[in-house]
Chain A
Amino acid sequence: MSDVLSAIAVELRDISKRFPGVIANHDVDLTVRRGTVHAIVGENGAGKSTLMKTLYGMHQPDTGSISINGNQLEMRSPSDAIDAGVGMVHQHFMLADNLTVLENIILGSEPAHRGVIDLRSARSRLNELMVSVGTELDLDTEVSELGVGERQRVEILKVLFRGAQILILDEPTAVLVPDEVDELFETLKRLVADGATVIFISHKLDEVLQVSDDITVMRQGTTVAQTTPAQIDRSGLAELMVGSELPSPAGRTSTISDAVRLDVRDLSVPGPEGRPAVESASFTVRAGEIVGVAGVEGNGQFELCTAIVGLRSSSGSVIVDGNDLTHANTRERHRAGLAYIPFDRQREGLMLNAPLWENTLLGREHEESLSKGPFIDGAAARSSAVTIIERFGVLTPNETVPAFALSGGNQQKLVVGRNLVTEPSVLIAAHPTRGIDVGAQAAVWDEIRQARDSGMAVLLVSADLEELIGLSDSLLVMFDGRITARLDPDSITPSELGTHMTGTHREVAS
C-alpha cells in the first residue's frame, strides 16, 4: 500500500454479475470518498446486495474492476476483502447463537499462541475497541440472549476487530427501533470521524438524507445517479429510485359499515414471570375498517395477534362474524375467515426451501378447488399460484422456484397475496411492509385498501407510523400489554403518536 492514502477508498468500474437467468448487476460504477458515509439506495432487487457481495469477495464479478485505496485488487474470498480492510455487516446477521459475544467476534481472527486462544489479549483488545466505538457489551453473554440492536453492535465490533477501515452495512436499520437507529448513526459518525469509510445500504430515504455524505442510486441492476443530500430532497430521491412518483398511504375514503366482523373481548395473554403479556384487550373491527395498532415493539402486539389467530392460549373471547371462536383452534379460526400476515415472513410465513406454489397452498389445502379427495391437485395449485403471482406482481421466473430465491419484497407480496386471495372476512396484518422497498410497499398498501373497500376488516400492526396514520381508520396504542389510547388518525401527528407509544400520555388515556 502506498504511503499517501488515496482520497478514494473504493472504486468500482463496469461491474457486471449475472446469475443463471438473472442479470443482477451491469455497468455499475461506484466511487466512495475516504472518511465519508456513502449511501447506496434502491428498491429491493435493484442489485445493491449483489454489488456489496462482490465488493466483499463473496462472489466474483463477470466483468469490471475493484480498487481499494487506489490499488486494483481481485477479491476471491471474504478473506481477501478482510485483508484489504473491507468489512461487512450483513442484513441477516451472521452470528452463532450458542457462542458467546467474544467467540463470535474473534472467530477466524483469534489472537493465539500456537493455536491456543489468548483470551486475555482478546478481551483487552475488545474492551479498548468498545470504548472507542462508545458501546458496552458483556463479552461472555451468549448471542442468543441479545436483542437485535446488540447483535448488530456485535457485528460491527466483529468487523472492526479485523481492522476494517471500510465498512459495508447492508440495510442496518431495517431491524432496529428508532432509538437504536439513532445509536447506530452516532456510532457511524464516530467511526467516520476516526477516519473510517462507511458504505450504507438502505431504502429508507429519510435516514439516507440524514446520515450520508454522498448518495448513489441504483435501479434495475445498475447505478443511475450519484448525488448528495444537499442537492436532492426525499421525493427527488424516490423518483430516481423507482423512476416514477412516490406512492403514499394517504387518501382515504371511509367505507366503514356497521357490521362488526372482529370482536375481541377482554383478551388476556399470560406472559413470562406471571406478568400478563396482554391485559384485558377489548376492541372491535367493522367491515371495511382498518384498525391500526401502534406501539413500541414488545409491548404485547405479537402476543395479541398470535392469540387472536389461536397460536397462543389466552383468556377472553374472539368473535368473527358472530361466530364465537374462543375455543376454536387455529385451523378452525382460519376457516372461519381469519387470515394472518405474520410478523416474520421468513420464520412464520414461508417454507423457504419449498417452491412458491407449495407456499401459496399453505393453509388452503382444504379448499375443494385445490384438492382431489385426499390428494393435492398439483395442476390447480400451480395455476392458483400463478394467479397470485400475477395479481400481486411477485417478480419471479415461475411458480416452481424456491421461496428463498425471492427478494424480501417479493416474498412479502406472496404472503400477502396468499392471505388475500381467499377473501377472508378479517385480516390480521403484522408489519405488512417491513423491510420492503417503496414499490412493493405501494402494491401491498393498494391490495389491503382494495380488500378493505370490498368489506374486509383489517387489524394492522406496524412500526411505520406514517403507514399506520395513513392507512388506519382508527388507532389503538399498546403499551405494556394494555391498550392505553384510542386515537383518530386524522387528527394526530407522528410525534404525538410517539409520546403515546412511549407511555408518556398514559395517565391521560386511562
Chain B
Amino acid sequence: MSGVLSLTRMPTSGPRRLLVLGVGLLGIMSVVRLVTGYDDLTSSGTIGAALRLTVPILLAGLAGLWAERVGILNIGIEGMMILGTWFGAFGAWKFGPWIGLLLAVVGGMLGGAIHAVATIRFNIDQVISGVVMNLLALYGMRYLSELAFDGVPQGGISQSPPQRGAIPRIDAPFLSGGWSTPDILGWFEERGWFLIGDLAGIVRGLTTNLSLASLLAVLLVPASAWVLWRTTFGLRLRSSGESPESAESLGVDVIRIRYLGLLISGGFAGLGGGFLAIVSSSYYRQGQTAGRGFIGLATMIFGNWRPSGVLGGAAVFGYSEGLKLVAGGSVTGLFLFIAIVASLVLVASVVARRSRRGVTALITTGVAMLAYLTVDEVPESLTQSLPYVVTLVVLATASQRLRPPARAGVPYRPGGSH
C-alpha cells in the first residue's frame, strides 16, 4: 500500500524521490524473496556477480555518452572494447595487470582516434565508420594474436596466455570482514529479516571481494558528471554536441574538442574491454566482449545521456545477468517482482490517467504473472535472454522524456554556418 502511495505521490525533489523509489523497490523485492524462498534474489553472491557484470557495460555506456555528448555517434564501442581486451591482456601478460589496464585504455583510444579521423577529418558517415571499427577490431586483433600469442604456451590465435598476477580485491572492514574484523553484514544477511536482510546482502555484495578496478570504474561515474557539468572543458564539450555553430561563434575550437571527446570515449571503451580481459577473466579470448558495446549504447539511451542514468541502466543489466549466473532458478522470482512493480505502475497510471503507460504496464503485469505461475524451471536458452527482456520492459515503462544531444550524429564543418 505504501508502495502505491509512494508512486502516486512522489516527492518532486530528485534525491528524496530516488530514495523513496529505491526503498520501495527493495521492499517489494524483499517480499518476493520471503514469499518465494529464493534467497539469492538479494544475496551478496548475486550482488557481487552483478557488480562484476555491470562494470564493462557501464564503461561502454559512458563511452557512448562521452561520444554523443560531443556530437558523434559511436557505434564502434564494441570494436574499441575488443581493442581493450587484446591490449589489456597483452599488457597484463607482459607487464602485469595495472599496466594491462593502462594499455587497454590506450588501445581503446587508438580506436577512438581512428573513428575521429574518419568522421571529423574525412567526414565519413558516423554509423559506417563505427561499423567498420567493429569489424576492423575483430579481425585486426585476430591477426595480432597470430603474431603475438600463437606458439606461446597456453596462447593461440584466438586466445592470449594468462596474465601475471591480478588486480587486488578488498573486503570492507567492519562491514564485510576486511582486515580480520567481524563480518557484521554477513550476520544480518544470514538472519534474512525483511528489508534488513536484503539491504545487508546488497551492501555486503558491493563491499566483499571488491576489485579495485570495479571501484575505479564506479568512481568514473561521478567523475564524468563532474567534468561534463562543472568544468569549462565539459561545457564546451557538451556545446559541441548541442550546437557546434554557437560554440564556434564563441571561439570554442569544436574540431579539437571533438577529437578529445572521441579519445575519451575510446579510452572508456578500452577500459571496459580491459576489465573483461583482466578482472572478469585472466586472458584475452576472441569474442570476449559478446555485444556488451551495443548493450552499453542501450544503457546510454536508458540513462537519458546522463552518467547516473547509465549506471542505473548498466546495473539493471548486470543484476539480471548476475542472478542468472548465480542462481538460474531464482529467475522465476524475478517474474513475480516484475509483475508486482508493473501492477503498481498500472495503478499509478490509472490514477494519473496516463493511458498509454497504463496499457504497457497492464500487458507487462499479465505476462510476468503468467510466467511466474506457469514456468517452474526456466530453460537455459530463455534465461540467456532475460537481461534483454528486463531492459525492454524497463525502457517501455519508463515515462521519462528522453533527450539526446541535439546534434549527435550530424557532421560538422567549421565555418559552415551561413
Contacts and interface: CB of A to CB of B under 8 A. Distances in A.
A50 to B, nearest CB: 10
Interface residues of A, number: 28
A158 B239 CA distance: 14
B238 interface: yes
Interface stretch (A109-117, A355-363, A445-453): A109-117
A366 interface: no
B95 interface: no
Among B230, B249, B415, the most chain A Cβ lie within 10 Å of the Cβ of B249
A106 B250 CA distance: 9
A260 B337 CA distance: 64
Contacts of B247: 96, 107-108
B245 interface: yes
A96 B239 contact: yes
A302 interface: no
Interface in A190-217: none
Contacts of A185: none
A128 B358 CA distance: 48
Contacts of B238: 96, 99, 103
Interface residues of B, number: 24
Interface in B217-253: 230-233, 235-236, 238-239, 242-243, 245-252
A59 interface: yes
A123 to B, nearest CB: 14
Nearest to B405: A98
Given A98-B405, A108-B252, A404-B418, A103 B246 contact: no
Interface in A91-111: 94-99, 103-104, 106-110
A79 B246 CA distance: 13
Contact of A98 (B249, B251, B406, B415): B406
A435 to B, nearest CB: 15
B418 A116 contact: no
Interface in A50-82: 58-59, 77-79, 82
B251 A96 contact: no
B246 A117 contact: no
A434 interface: no
A270 B417 CA distance: 37
A31 B418 CA distance: 25
Interface string A255-274: 00000000000000000000
Contact of B231 (A94, A96, A116): A116
A334 interface: no
A82 B251 CA distance: 9
Of A59, A97, A404, which is in contact with the most chain B CB atoms at under 10 Å from its CB?
A: A97
B9 interface: no
Interface in B196-231: 230-231
B403 interface: yes
A88 B406 CA distance: 23
Nearest to B403: A98
B251 A112 contact: no
A107 B250 contact: yes
Contacts of B249: 58, 78, 88, 90, 94
Contacts of A404: 418
A108 B238 CA distance: 12
A97 B406 contact: yes
Interface of B: 230-233, 235-236, 238-239, 242-243, 245-252, 403, 405-406, 415, 417-418
21 contacts: A58-B415, A78-B248, A78-B249, A82-B251, A96-B242, A96-B246, A96-B406, A97-B242, A97-B243, A99-B238, A103-B235, A103-B239, A108-B247, A108-B250, A108-B252, A109-B251, A110-B232, A112-B231, A115-B231, A116-B230, A158-B250
